[in-house]
Amino acid sequence: MQHIQIDIISDVVCPWCYLGQKRLALALEEVRDSVVADIAWKPYQLEPNAPPEGFNTFDYLAKKIGGPERVKQSHEMLKGLGAEIGLPFALERAGILPNTLDAHRLLHWAGKIGPETQDKVAHALFTANFVEGRNVGDHSVLADIAEACGMDRAEVERLLSMDTDRDTIKTEIANAQRMGVSGVPFFVIDGKYAISGAQGVDVFANALRQIAEMKANA
């Protein structure tokens, strides 16, 4: 059995990140007889200049990818890909595209508690945004998620009210960009192997098997 470290560089409002983490989870299930993975979530911001109140998601996407019809087609495609692996996208509910810096701060604090808590918070953030249509830039929503995942709500509210770890998150994002990350999801395995994008389950599974085999033979 080989232990590997997987850093998932992502943004909580990236639908491909939501898809990619699920495909990775299914791949890890496939290779569970030979691989055990420790997961860490690392920050990235697709829209770091989003204002505190966020953008209207549909207006923003229409400008970015070429109009409302393209947005509709993109959403239908993502829903179809999600349905194939049991991921319940409800993209029409995600009306606000927030600034995600505070969501990444919450993930950072969850990681200090432990990988299990961080993983729970990451999944809860994706679900809040892509299934429930909640604004993951809203401090009350973040506090709800923290509490539901076993974190101290009052402490999270206190930290969110201050600038705690804002610079830490910005530095981590800058480090990822220096490493060559220009889009997410981006998966770094054992600090030296990289997989870019929401690859298929088979691609992830084969890569994990190969890495485990290389480690076993090293």
3-state secondary structure 36-89: EEEEEEEECCCCCCCCCCCEEHHHHHHHHHCCHHHHHHHHHHHHHHHHHCCCCC
Place of tokens 């829209």: 47
What pTM value is reported for the model?
Answer: 0.95
Q: What is the CATH number of the domain that holds 13?
A: 3.40.30.10
Q: What total number of domains does the chain contain? A: 1
pLDDT above 90 covers a percentage of the chain that reads 95
Asked if pLDDT for residue 199 goes beyond 90, the answer is yes
Q: Show the domain range for 30.
A: 2-217
pLDDT band at 52 (very low <50, low <70, confident <90, very high): confident
Mean pLDDT of 11-30: 97
pLDDT tens digits, one per residue of 200-218: 999 999 999 999 999 888 7
